[in-house]
Amino acid sequence: MLVLAVDTATPAVTAGLVELGQAATDADAVPQVRTVASRVRVDPRAHAEVLTPQILECLTEAGRSRADIVAVVVGVGPGPFTGLRVGMATAAAFGDALGLPVYGVCSLDAVAADCAPDLTPGRELLVVTDARRREIYWARYRDGVRTAGPEVVKPGDLDSAQAEVIAGSASHVDFFDLPVLPVETPSPAGLVRVASAELLARAVPQPLTPMYLRRPDAVENSFRTLDRTGA
Supply the pLDDT for residue 140: 97
Class for the domain spanning 2-107+185-223: alpha beta
| Mean pLDDT for all residues in the chain | 90
* pLDDT above 50: residue 137: yes
* pLDDT above 50: residue 201: yes
Q: Can you give the chain as a three-state secondary structure string?
A: CEEEEEECCCCEEEEEEEEEECCCCCCCCCCEEEEEEEEEEECCCCHHHHHHHHHHHHHHHHCCCHHHEEEEEEECCCCCHHHHHHHHHHHHHHHHHHCCCEEEECHHHHHHHHHHHHCCCCCEEEEEEEEECCEEEEEEEECCEEEEEEEEECHHHCCCCCCCEEEECCCCHHHCCCCECCCCCCCHHHHHHHHHHHHHHCCCCCCECCCCCCCCCCCHHHHCCECCCCC
Q: What is the pTM of this model?
A: 0.89
User: What dotted CATH number matches 108-175?
Assistant: 3.30.420
Break the chain into its structural domains and give their ranges: 2-107+185-223, 108-175
- Answer yes or no: same fold for 2-107+185-223 and 108-175: yes
Supply the pLDDT for residue 45: 80
- The pLDDT tens digits for 11-67 are 999 999 999 998 765 555 778 999 999 999 998 787 888 999 999 999 999 999 999
